[in-house]
A and B are shown apart, each in its own frame.
Chain A
């Protein structure tokens, strides 16, 4: 699970207990933030130092994280948290810059109607503060760089493989790398100029751009063209990232030639899409992550009632949604608030058990 890491692991030390008991920790955090908004003992914060327009719908945000940031490996992502109309919302973004630098970049494509990507594009400027999670993900280059590499991407999926390519370039480790990228048009190639420069500078790098608007070119990933362009693809350690349908098609090709073991993939699939909503609560499975138990809903009723019926004893008070004692973190799944009708499908959201009904299988932090 991705979470803004509590960096205060030293809280257990006696000094910290005293500070907390004397309510000084809260004040220290406040004054630290007043003096410099990027400083914090509780959160990884980063100041935006530059915003670069990559293409018409993609921007790179260059960030300088505070001391709590522990770096990343090429290919990893971080959760990025912004305050959208007063509400903190988090999304994952792959880090597009190479590891080992003081500045960290994320490259964001604006999704029409998308909450966070649109907010970043419209409102985030140099000097603003974003909150990050620790870098995560195992879509990374192995410690020993494979001799033959294929980096295969489509659209904004270029971001993690770009971090890998930049890392290899910085370490002068580009020996036999094929970089195949798919985009709508040349103008839509994110990092286009830098890619051409790298290809010109490194003999070991072959750059292939597949553009939808080329005469008689197929749209997106197409097996015949691809096999023609990279005949030895099945022998290469491959890193794949792109839109869902693109990745599905590519994966099938690797399966068909029996080379899946060499294929690593990263999916940007939005985690916000409501899971198939069920209209009846009956049979919905609720997993209690902390106690490692699962409960099947029976008949109608709120989550609190369902859990109690199954013999669980979750904390609660008023049972009518006003005291917030029954608050709990929903890790995955969709619930509906019976008072407001509001549907919550984002991961890691606090819900009130006494006024929520399950609308899909769920995982709760209980």
Chain B
């Protein structure tokens, strides 16, 4: 369901924001044992699944144990990257003061370093969400996912490039904060890039060693089988996270903003932008867990540091608030959102269309809010 969002004045946006802040407060006040038990249970499931997967791959013979082992390993990697790693690194469990759930200490099973991720994702993407020129997640600098992005001939290849990115998604994510494009634009020297790339290169080397040397070596005669299983498990995780993230950001109806529009944005207007820059996926409880609750991308973008497992119960309230303020709430089945994304990537590989009418205009006015968001941080 997508409806056009009505444009809100600054006062209206701030009232909208206050309602969302109140909802946020309500959930914070209710955080407790249940949330801690949820994440510990998911950690337990992921670890058991990994152990089962590795045992089947290392000691099993034949195709059945290979398929089961690879699936179990893939499942554990998906859980660890999405519901566990992504969410812990957002600070969703910092309130528990459990060092194992500490956002700044956690590092995930992915070639992207925790520090690079915290910078490019938690800070840049979640602060400057969908602002052209500031949010480097809009098409990651090489895909054209919004008509507002100028067309270049290289975009003709983007259906293929997008498919390749899906297969190697963790490498795309890992290299994202290196800003390789700035090298070509002359904004970064090769020496700077090399320095910036060092932590990534180190982590990637260890990850490759772990998946394709250490664990296979442990399996002795089963080494090729283990290496292949790890490759497929990583690949499955790549495809899945790619699909979830693209469905959350690039279906039809999601809009981008210009820097001018957001230069003097208030906290309420920040909320409006988060809403209009995200899309949800509908599904069962397990779909939500497997996406790390990024199926509730809208709620995630409004409340990135609240435990994600709370999003499903917050969603009806968010939707109701959005409806009252005339704001569209972009949600649909996985198949619908995915086909919408694929269609959009294909269409935008060609020039045009003429920039569509803006779904929302956030009109900056002179009105100080208690917490003024400063884009020029």
Point out residues on A near B: beta carbons under 8 Å.
21-23, 26-27, 29-31, 34, 42, 83, 85-89, 316-325, 327, 338-340, 349-350, 355
Residues of B within 8 A of A26 (CB): 100
Known: A318-B126, A325-B122, A338-B371. A350 touches B94 (CB 8 A): yes
Contact stretch, chosen from B31-39, B133-141, B148-156, B228-236 = B31-39
Residues of A within 8 A of B370 (CB): 338
A280 to B208, CA, bound (A): 54
Number of interface residues of B (CB under 8 A): 47
B233 → A minimal CB distance (Å): 14
List of 5 A-B pairs having minimum Cβ-Cβ separation, nearest first: A317-B123, A324-B91, A86-B36, A318-B127, A88-B97
The answer to whether A340 and B25 touch across the interface, beta carbons within 8 angstroms, is yes
| Nearest residue, chain A, Cβ from B109 | A23
The answer to whether A87 and B96 touch across the interface, beta carbons within 8 angstroms, is yes
B320 → A minimal CB distance (Å): 23
B166 → A minimal CB distance (Å): 24
| Nearest residue, chain A, Cβ from B91 | A324
The answer to whether B377 and A318 touch across the interface, beta carbons within 8 angstroms, is yes
A320 to B122, CA, bound (A): 12
Interface string of B106-120 (1 = CB under 8 A from A): 010100000000110
A338 to B369, CA, bound (A): 12
Residues of A within 8 A of B90 (CB): 324
Known: A22-B206, A322-B305. A86 touches B47 (CB 8 A): no
Known: A30-B43, A322-B127. A87 touches B95 (CB 8 A): yes
Point out residues on B near A: beta carbons under 8 Å.
21, 25, 28, 31-36, 43-44, 47, 50-51, 90-91, 94-100, 103-104, 107, 109, 118-119, 122-124, 126-127, 206, 209-210, 214, 267, 270, 304-305, 370-371, 373-374, 377
Known: A23-B107, A317-B119, A324-B305. A88 touches B96 (CB 8 A): yes
Residues of A within 8 A of B43 (CB): 30
Residues of B within 8 A of A29 (CB): 100
B26 → A minimal CB distance (Å): 11
The answer to whether A88 and B98 touch across the interface, beta carbons within 8 angstroms, is yes
The answer to whether B99 and A42 touch across the interface, beta carbons within 8 angstroms, is yes
The answer to whether A340 and B28 touch across the interface, beta carbons within 8 angstroms, is yes
Residues of B within 8 A of A34 (CB): 44, 47
A225 to B51, CA, bound (A): 69
The answer to whether A319 and B377 touch across the interface, beta carbons within 8 angstroms, is yes
Residues of A within 8 A of B374 (CB): 319
